[in-house]
Amino acid sequence: MYLKHWNLRKLPFENTPDTDFFYESEKHREASSRLRYVVEERKACAVLTGVYGCGKTLVLRALERDYKKKGCVFSFVNNPRLDDLGLLRMILHNFTGYNVPRSKEDVLMGLEKFVRETFNDGKHVVIAIDESQLIDNEHVFEELRLLLNFQTETRFLVTLLLSGQPELREKLDSNKQFSQRITLSYNLPALDREETAAYVRHRLGVAGGADGIFLPEALDLVYDRSGGIPRWINNIANMSLLAAFSKGVPAVDAALVAEGAESARQ
């Protein structure tokens, strides 16, 4: 709606995991670096936690984009609110792309066959499960743990990446057998004031926007109203741009951010 007003190529503040917009703050770079280490070194499991909207999914998607080019095969599960068999079937379906067996025995044999063949092809299997805090069945964690038993004498054949809100950490801490398989974990915090301003400018730049669309005082208020959470930054910035467009002004000031923040929360 407002693209032409600022000569933008595409909407800059959509809450979708578009890796073109991935902004590597120091915190996101640290999260990405830890997950990359686990994948590159063929380790067993890594855990990424953080509050809703802090950018965990985009970190995972950027990792998937880069490592698919380096010989990794991904199964990305967006909604793990399934029983143990359902999750195993979803993982196998994401790998093979066709109908999967219904019995657990056949699913597990299919997974082992796929993992072994992928290893023989010189590639590595990665299972990424987003929103893992939704897993509320101990049997699911047990099946995921057992998948890590696919290994040779010297390396794991499967790397498991779990991402979720902070309560995921509590669930894992209470499951000693599973937690012993975790190589490393990282909690992704919110952006600070300076990073929030850089984040807004970065996304506008990727979309083709010029510098100065948001005035300095406007960027300060974006941070104050969003708390540095990227999802809320996107919502507020998007509505602020819409408010500025509707008034026909060339830049977003603090008053327009205040208006946008109110609209974003309604």
Three-state SS letters, the chain: CCCHHHCCCCCCCCCCCCHHHCCCCHHHHHHHHHHHHHHHCCCCEEEEECCCCCCHHHHHHHHHHHHHCCCEEEEEECCCCCCHHHHHHHHHHHHHCCCCCCCHHHHHHHHHHHHHHHHHCCCEEEEEECCHHHCCCHHHHHHHHHHCCCECCCCECEEEEEEECCHHHHHHHCCHHHHCCEEEEEECCCCCHHHHHHHHHHHHHHCCCCCCCECHHHHHHHHHHHCCCHHHHHHHHHHHHHHHHHHCCCCECHHHHHHHHHHHCC
Q: Tally Cβ neighbours within 10 Å of residue 232.
A: 22
The verdict on 33 and 98 lying in the same domain is yes
CATH number at residue 237: 1.10.8.60
CATH number at residue 87: 3.40.50.300
Domain-ending residue, one of 153, 187, 221:
187
The verdict on 52 and 152 lying in the same domain is yes
What pLDDT, on a 0 to 100 scale, did the predictor assign at position 266?
Answer: 57
The verdict on 217 and 170 lying in the same domain is no
Distances (CA, A) of 134 to 35, 50, 66, 76, 172: 21, 14, 27, 15, 12
Q: Tally Cβ neighbours within 10 Å of residue 59.
A: 27
Q: What is the pLDDT along the chain (266 residues), one digit of tens a residue?
A: 799 999 999 999 999 999 999 999 999 999 999 999 999 999 999 999 999 999 999 999 999 999 999 999 999 999 999 999 999 999 999 999 888 999 999 999 999 999 999 999 999 999 999 999 999 988 999 999 999 999 999 999 999 999 999 999 999 999 999 999 999 999 999 999 999 999 999 999 999 999 899 999 999 999 999 999 999 999 999 999 999 999 999 999 999 999 999 998 75
The verdict on 180 and 67 lying in the same domain is yes
Structural domain of residue 198, as residue ranges?
4-10+191-264
Query: Is 244 within 8 Å of 252 (Cβ atoms)?
Result: yes
- How many residues belong to the chain? 266
The verdict on 51 and 122 lying in the same domain is yes
CB crowding 40-55: b at 16 or more within 10 Å, else e:
eebbbbbbbbbeebbb
The verdict on 181 and 204 lying in the same domain is no
* pTM of this structure: 0.95
Q: Token pair for residue 102?
A: 């219904």
The answer to whether position 171 is within a domain reads yes
The verdict on 39 and 112 lying in the same domain is yes
The verdict on 99 and 168 lying in the same domain is yes
The verdict on 59 and 141 lying in the same domain is yes
The verdict on 131 and 217 lying in the same domain is no
Give the pLDDT confidence of 222-231 residue by residue, as tens digits: 999 999 999 9
The verdict on 57 and 155 lying in the same domain is yes
The verdict on 65 and 86 lying in the same domain is yes
The answer to whether position 90 is within a domain reads yes
Residue in 208, 145, 202, 211 with CA at minimum distance from that of residue 178: 145
Give the pLDDT confidence of 235-260 residue by residue, as tens digits: 999 999 999 999 999 999 999 999 99
